[in-house]
Structure 1
């Protein structure tokens, strides 16, 4: 009997409908330079990095979706984002829900195959028509075949960066646990705490593990700790006083060499990128102890200079709207 994971939820009824989509809608795997891809074309090379956490970067200017696994780009696809008046929001998102056979509750029950939901008010990655320019009502449309492949490698909590520009991820290490330092001889204690906690991509269907995210806002001088889509704690932000920039850090796990944490760093909103240096940011001892109880591989840590305010977040969603 096959064990269901969260990636395999909701297969079945929509298969017949998917088979009816052909031609450019279906998509074509090609071997081309990224800038030469035609609407509906994509590249897919998971063998370049078979294991590790996935991150997705949507470049609105390029109308391209870049997929990274463990920091290595494994795929690029053409896409179609929101048309004028229905622009796709930019910022940091995570996959909140997955549904192979989703239908729109807003637009005449329209099919949205292989949906990776990013906001509860309707923004998602899903299969759809790709005319070669922004044409959706805000979602990011993908070739059907590519959307099915992407659906298999994403999981609840997968970070999705939607930005005007594409930035390559970088590896960074922090010589401590998140926002606090510790003596080198305490590293084994940190490992003992972290190791039992699975990455979301390893959860079995039915596992109940909340996804942890943190947002550090220089505007509010605060750090918010979020479980799934609910803020559970906040603490003071202590930093050098300079702009933090717009960065997303995904925790890969412990870094033996640095005796600390190993992160994948992604930049969004290139106009105010700043530099990748987690050591700039700290908090007080009490909040650092709170954070330790929620750390897990795959957790997301966001730097922003925007306020932690409803205008910069989408309802209950974990979104930093830039």
Structure 2
């Protein structure tokens, strides 16, 4: 005779055996941020770092490229290879929002198959989650991600995050082949048509720019352009001059130091500070993948002075440079349509623990 405890244990064992253990898909660590995306093998990915205080988040899934791009406050912070729906189970295109999150989800349709770090996009089964990555579309409609990338995205995202699924001939080229700056509105998923600076115009600033929210800046050395984002919206862009263009290369990220660290802040030699004009704060390097050794190093004044911007633009931008503001400098062109250079992924913030240390030092 079996006792009651043995029966309960047997039932529990039988039930647990119907739930498949999740394998680990894809690479375990990020590739360097300057890795050309064409060199990302199936399962490879790049994650530059993130902080939820950095602004609204959005994801673009390119069915054409079989890659997904993650943006925070308008700036690219991660990119990964994916596997989407195979013929007969095609992943639908369009604008979606994250409806539900389940870290340990198992499929109700496919024999309790594991779908770790699931972020549901539709109630009929389309989601982002960790899964197989053979290098071509093979899912039943979901977007498969490398396991560690799926975890990072799951931890960084929130319910309601915008996800745009694009495909050639069904979306603008800027959304099918995204660049360092987000081509969509993070709130609505609508395509953004950001006009270029007019000929002869050195800079522009939005008259209806948001007055609050996190600020991020992106500098393209190749385009000689500096773009400012606030709370997910571009609020200004300016042509720049580089005193020594070849002095620093690659994708580098910097953060404005805390008020205490800024006590001895310096001013660019090209525009000496006055009693009424704001001063340039101190910048500290963020150790992104490929440049970890630079983490925490203060950026010398002569390096900051390499970048020269018009006085009118500087007068509007400098007051926004508060502790936690991030600047990313890259060799990549902002528009992938005008350059044969491979897109380089860029970082928008430091990892939480390191960023907290900087802001509270």
Task: Calculate the TM-score normalised by the size of structure 2.
Answer: 0.43
Higher strand proportion, which one?
1
Higher relative contact order structure (alpha carbons within 8 Å, sequence separation ≥ 6) = 2
The structure with more radius of gyration: 2
